[in-house]
Amino acid sequence: MSLSARQILDQLVSYPTVSRDTNLPLIDWIEGYLADLGIVAHRMPKRGDPSKEAIFCSVGPRVPGGVVLSGHTDVVPVEGQDWSSDPWAVSERDGRLYGRGTCDMKGFDALALHALQQALECDLKRPIQVALSFDEEIGCAGAPPLIEAMAESGLPKAAIAIIGEPSMLQCVTGQKGSAGFDVHVKGFEVHSSMMDKGVNAVMAASRLIHWANGKNDELRARAPSTVAANFDPPFTTLHVGMIKGGTAQNITAGDCRFGIDWRLVPDEDADRLDGEFRAVVAEVDAAAKAIAPSAGVRLRPFHDVPALVPEENGAAEALVRGITGDNGIHVVSYGTEAGHFQNAGCSAVICGPGDIAQAHQADEFIAVEQFEAGGAFLARVVESLTK
């Protein structure tokens, strides 16, 4: 059963695969669609959560050096957004395809699956692979186990990874990395008139936030490196977006919780920044415990997304630029799975149809023109594997 790319998109969007929910009905459909084409799909369950699975497959000779098309199956919620049409059904209006995920990134997923139909009709010299993950929208957590499962399955290792996040089909060669923590500061409550006998969790937390402010000032003041200069802003940033704590104004706060994350330019030392933060945490923790052993600071990592480092003479960049004719320098600050594939030994770039400005929005859309251009782009990728 062959389907058009638009028909595949209609199917993919119809499954409400919000990250908090299961994606199994969608995976079932993809597996069945591929089976109808004679393609064997591999499913990878999420460890500890049988409600989610990734799926991957390969078409062509079982030799290394092919291309993997990387996408994700999860989308963000629609609650609280004012949609003009059903977000779980593709609606075409004024040259746009509306629906949750049409842009980010079921549009690319549909085109990648359709490209496999074209690949079956070609004399490929190297394989084309499709890898669709879960939990991308909550920290790209599904990519590392997916990449590991692909290697363990015996699939020949791809040389090039094209991550199809919406880039208006520009060749994006650099992406900031990111990491973040949920921070829980446990205090010791006493009356505020005796605050030296207690541990104020809010004030202890403020020491960590003060460190983040100072680090931002330090990073902003540096002369940007050649790599960093391409980004906006051209430096690593630390951010605290939410904080909650305390019981009453006259009680030293017994609890304080906040989230902190940072977005690193590709040539920033992620381990060093992590170490610096943990050192400050250790100081605050020790000071709290010196007053009350039950007090202290606890960290829970909530994501760790490696940067995509611009490659010198990268094979992925050469392939994509050769097809698109795009010779500009393009980098992004949002997170993708590109760094995970690069760290696994693939030459990687980000290149997909659609505008990231539409991602996560009410009335999310991809322009028909971009969708069709994305299909033409992947047809050329398939063609490149015949040579």
Q: Which residues are catalytically annotated?
A: 74, 136
For residues 129 and 56, the answer to whether their CB atoms sit within 8 Å is: yes
Q: How far apart are CA 289 and CA 278, in angstroms?
A: 16
Q: Is the peptide bond before 105 cis (omega within 30 degrees of 0)?
A: yes
Q: How far apart are CA 309 and CA 350, in angstroms?
A: 11
Q: Which residues contact 121 (CB under 8 A, 6 or more apart)?
A: none
CB burial string 276-315: b at 16+ within 10 A, e below: ebeebbeebbeebbeebeebbbeeeeeebbbbbbbbeebb
For residues 145 and 44, the answer to whether their CB atoms sit within 8 Å is: yes
3-class secondary structure per residue, 155-218 = CCCCCEEEECCCCCCCCEEEECEEEEEEEEEECECCEHHHHHHCECHHHHHHHHHHHHHHHHHH
Q: How far apart are CA 148 and CA 56, in angstroms?
A: 12
Based on DSSP, count helices (H) and strands (E) in the chain, helices before strands.
9, 15
DSSP-H helix ranges across 14-69: 24-36
